[in-house]
Amino acid sequence: MNFIKYALILNLIITIGACSMDDKNLKNNLKLNELNAQERRVIIDKGTESPYSGQYWNSNGKGTYTCRQCNYSLYKSTDKFDSRCGWPSFDDEIPGAVRRQLDADGQRTEILCAHCGGHLGHVFEGELLTDKNIRHCVNSISIQFVPDSIDSSSSNIGRALFASGCFWGTEYFMQAAKGVIKTTVGYTGGHTVNPTYKEVCTGSTGHAETVEVLFDKSKTNFEELAKLFFETHDPAEVNRQGPDIGSQYRTAIFYTDDDQKDIALKLKAILEKKGLKVATEITKSTAFYKAEDYHQQYYKNNGKRPYCHFYTKRF
């Protein structure tokens, strides 16, 4: 009994240590978008754009507003409202996405991206403008809009499929990458049609937990995303990642064309030349099945971070 207690405590310590290391690595290796002078004045130097001058003060499309500096999802369009103040206004944020702190003079409450610390604007309460009685007053220049409906057939939109253990962790890093438009978690590489999470967890369907990544080819490319894939999990692990064990947690790249295949093989060879025994499968993509809704954007929706994925510089 004492041995069992000791083992459980040791496992808890290792898990906490891994989470701490994940946070440290994430902050030290955060990949941020380049900002122009106007964007830096607001996002870094905490300036304010003129009212009625921003791109989104009067927009009403359906989608998600993300941080311009790190692509982290901040607000849903369903929480946006017309406050007639000249800046985009929201009466709620995605859980865990926005951090608050008092201005230096103690007069107002500043809001920042919880992921990268970029300045967004200020938050106000007690104005009775909506039932939630709160207004996030955000600079348009601090955010970007990602529509719910995306034409994936567009020649400027790329598609990639990555599996690296629990798809929650894989998506966490991919969705914050420069140029990524949308991520969807699901299942691919198996033989069962329309599998459920419960079925995939048995390991009998042959599927891997996979993230579908749609990206803007003018801002990034498959090679950059594939490098991120190799750097945010342990590609030497076979049929597991951290405490998650089973063929559904295998490391794999499901290429959509020969160019992706060649790039994946090249990167794998580079890592093997460095002495890493890479277990990553490089396989032609098959049908991708979207996972259940409660799995989508899991860490963003729950304000948490991965427990078995962390960033390690490899290239």
Task: Choose the catalytic residue: 67, 70, 166, 308.
Answer: 166
Query: Would residue 116 show up in a list of annotated catalytic residues for this protein?
Result: no
DSSP 186-244: EEESSSSSS--HHHHHTT-S--EEEEEEEEETTT--HHHHHHHHHHSS-TT-SSEETTE
- Measured in degrees and rounded to the nearest 5, phi and psi for residue 171 equal -65, -35
Assigned token pair, 282: 């490089």
For 15, which DSSP code?
A: H
Task: Choose the catalytic residue: 67, 113, 137, 308.
Answer: 137
The number of helices, as runs of H, and strands, as runs of E, in the chain is 7, 17
Distance, in Å, from the CA atom of 160 to the CA atom of 255, rounded to the nearest integer, reads: 7
Q: What stretches of the chain adopt beta strand conformation (E)?
A: 63-67, 73-76, 80-81, 89-90, 98-102, 109-113, 119-125, 134-138, 143-147, 157-164, 180-188, 208-216, 240-241, 244-245, 251-255, 281-284, 289-290
Residues forming beta bridges with residue 112, ordered by sequence position: 99, 119
Residues listed for the chain: 315
Distance, in Å, from the CA atom of 235 to the CA atom of 241, rounded to the nearest integer, reads: 9
Query: Would residue 137 show up in a list of annotated catalytic residues for this protein?
Result: yes
Over its C-alpha atoms, the chain yields an Rg (Å, rounded) of 21
Q: Are 86 and 134 in contact (CB under 8 A)?
A: no
175-190 burial: b if 16+ Cβ within 10 Å, else e: bbbbbbbbbbbbbbbb
Q: Catalytic positions, please?
A: 137, 166
